[in-house]
């Protein structure tokens, strides 16, 4: 059974979505992230993926108060990321109510630090992000390309005990035109033990069914919910 994980992206304390990671395409969907989180919980969803886009861009956590309010007012199992750069940052996020930290750029730039976190917090507390364009990892809120291939990146972390990652194909994100099935198939063929969470491009129930069929363990859905391409009611089947 595939896990449905709704997403809340934060800029200036509001729920927004971008297209292909471009901050110029920002669209505000709701002034109150807490209201949105409660709607997800009321619909029976258990997980929530929160990204502090201000934090990702500025390199420090900005929207921690929103995490606190959502964690206090709901029973959602929250993963939070964006701007987590130090062990103190990670600890702050856990103390503020997230059960998992989601990380990307730091895992590329400072793998040794993240290996320490795996040791001290446990691999299950870390959701590794892989943001890709043409199978190469992108960092810093998708603003910067690297020479690191996704296969090498995942392999390095699986060897350190990580078993869960979310992968976003930036070319698909926010376009509602379908998911990167071929990329996910390839990753699951190479890493059959991986709990792979798909992200980016979901526009219909069919996309979710396809992801479930190839063995993805979860799917992050954002824009399709906000644009009402998918209803929370439809997701009850999963």
Q: What is the pLDDT of residue 171?
A: 80
Which position among 9, 54, 169, 173 bears the catalytic label?
9
CATH number of domain containing 170: 3.20.20.70
Q: What angle do CA 15, 19, 24 make, to 5 degrees?
A: 80
Q: What is the pTM of this model?
A: 0.94
The answer to whether the CB of 40 falls within 8 A of the CB of 62 is no
Out of 54, 79, 131, 207, the active site residue is: 131
- What total of structural domains would you count in the chain? 1
pLDDT band for position 174 (cuts 50, 70, 90): low
What is the model's pLDDT at position 203? Answer: 92
Higher-confidence residue of 200 and 184: namely 184
Structural domain of 195? 3-237
CA quadruple 186, 162, 8, 73: dihedral sign = positive
pLDDT band at 238 (very low <50, low <70, confident <90, very high): confident
Give the model's pLDDT for residue 101.
Answer: 98
Establish whether 9 is a catalytic residue: yes
């Amino acid at each position: 059974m595939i896990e449905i994980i709704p997403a809340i992206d934060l800029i200036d304390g509001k729920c927004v979505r971008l297209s292909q990671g471009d901050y110029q395409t920002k669209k505000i969907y709701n002034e109150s992230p807490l209201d949105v989180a409660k709607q997800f919980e009321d619909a029976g969803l258990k997980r929530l993926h929160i990204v502090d886009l201000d934090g990702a861009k500025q390199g420090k956590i900005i929207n921690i108060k929103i995490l606190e309010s959502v964690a206090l007012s709901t029973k959602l199992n929250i993963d939070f990321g964006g701007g987590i750069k130090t062990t103190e940052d990670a600890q702050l996020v856990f103390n503020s109510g997230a059960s998992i930290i989601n990380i990307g750029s730091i895992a590329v730039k400072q793998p040794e630090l993240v290996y320490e976190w795996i040791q001290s917090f446990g691999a299950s507390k870390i959701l590794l992000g892989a943001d890709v364009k043409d199978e190469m990892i992108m960092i810093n809120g998708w603003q910067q390309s690297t020479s690191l291939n996704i296969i090498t990146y995942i392999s390095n972390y699986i060897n350190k005990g990580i078993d869960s990652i979310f992968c976003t194909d930036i070319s698909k994100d926010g376009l509602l035109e379908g998911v990167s099935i071929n990329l996910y198939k390839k990753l699951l063929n190479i890493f059959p033990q991986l709990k792979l969470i798909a992200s980016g491009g979901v526009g219909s129930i069919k996309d979710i069914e396809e992801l479930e069929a190839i063995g993805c363990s979860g799917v992050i859905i954002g824009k399709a919910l906000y644009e009402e391409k998918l209803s929370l009611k439809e997701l009850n089947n999963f």
